[in-house]
Amino acid sequence: MNEIERGRGVALWNQISGILAADILKGQLRQGEQLPSAQELAARFNVNRHTVRRAIAALEQRNLVRTEQGRGTFVQEHTLDYPISRRTRFTQNMRNLNVEADIEVIEDVREVPPPQVAQSLGLDRHEYTYRIETLSRADGHIVDYSTAYFPAARFSGLPAVYRRVLSVTRTLSEFGVTDYERKHTRVSARLPDANTSRLMKQPANRPVLYVQSINADTRGIPVQYGITRFSGDWVQLVLMADN
């Protein structure tokens, strides 16, 4: 059915939502494809844009579409199952999922970290860390925005190495840390702050998966404190049995 029927006791927005859902489920609207604008849909169904927006909201609740700020509404793709284990590695996870991944460095600074970070890394109150901010993409979509802290005294000059290799594992390896394990992981859902919302191009009212972690070398000495904000639209975290 491609047309709505007035006067049959079913709200117009509900009919429009049903038509578009059928198009998605039949593959007439493909995964990742952009839906027509609210104005175009309003003209197609001869309704106002408020009715169209309510229909789109219903599709979002069913996780059939997603809306990106400033871009439009898209058919939802399947989420990525992102394993979290004792040896969580972004590049390896993406390779296992057979998706093309890349990492963009947003910022790197040398600074005294917040007290919680210093304590987690076993540092004195005024010791320095390197803080590196990155955006990770999979098949062109932003999947996470990460903040990583590394002890500056132990890893002098680390940011330059990281920018060259774009891998935590390879960076630490150049400093003699040939292996490391996840010592601690805490997962929660929270609303993104303004900076996170801007960088991830995600509405401020849509929660992100907020993961705090500590990685330690084979002697149990912390080498990295991380905060990763995953897009709930793209990522499903899978906690592996070895946690």
- Predicted confidence (pLDDT) per residue in 97-109, tens digit: 677 789 999 999 9
**Residues 6 or more apart in contact with residue 181 via CB below 8 angstroms:** 86, 87, 215, 216, 218
Residue 243 pLDDT grade (very low, low, confident, very high; cuts 50, 70, 90): very low
Taking the C-alpha atoms of residue 25 and residue 130, their distance in angstroms, rounded to an integer, is 47
Instruction: Average the pLDDT over each of 53-67, 87-101, 138-152, 205-219 and give the range with the smallest value.
Output: 87-101
As a whole number, mean pLDDT of residues 68-94 equals 78
The CATH number linked to 30 is 1.10.10.10
As a whole number, mean pLDDT of residues 74-100 equals 76
Residue 2 pLDDT grade (very low, low, confident, very high; cuts 50, 70, 90): low
pLDDT at 77: 73
pLDDT at position 241 over 70: no
- Predicted confidence (pLDDT) per residue in 152-196, tens digit: 999 999 999 999 999 999 999 999 999 999 999 999 999 999 999
In the 8-state DSSP scheme, what is residue 154? T
Asked if residue 31 is part of any domain, the answer here is: yes
Residues 117 and 203 in one domain: yes
The CATH number linked to 106 is 3.40.1410.10
| Domain limits for position 133 | 80-239
Residues 135 and 192 in one domain: yes
Contact 30, 74 (CB under 8 A): no
DSSP H stretches of helix in 80-234: 90-96, 115-120, 158-165, 168-174, 194-200
pLDDT at position 142 over 60: yes
Asked if residue 85 is part of any domain, the answer here is: yes
Of 88, 104, 113, 163, the residue nearest 138 (C-alpha): 104
Residues 55 and 96 in one domain: no
- Predicted confidence (pLDDT) per residue in 37-56, tens digit: 999 999 999 999 999 999 99
Taking the C-alpha atoms of residue 58 and residue 61, their distance in angstroms, rounded to an integer, is 5
pLDDT at 47: 94
Residues 210 and 136 in one domain: yes
Per the prediction, the chain carries an average pLDDT of 89
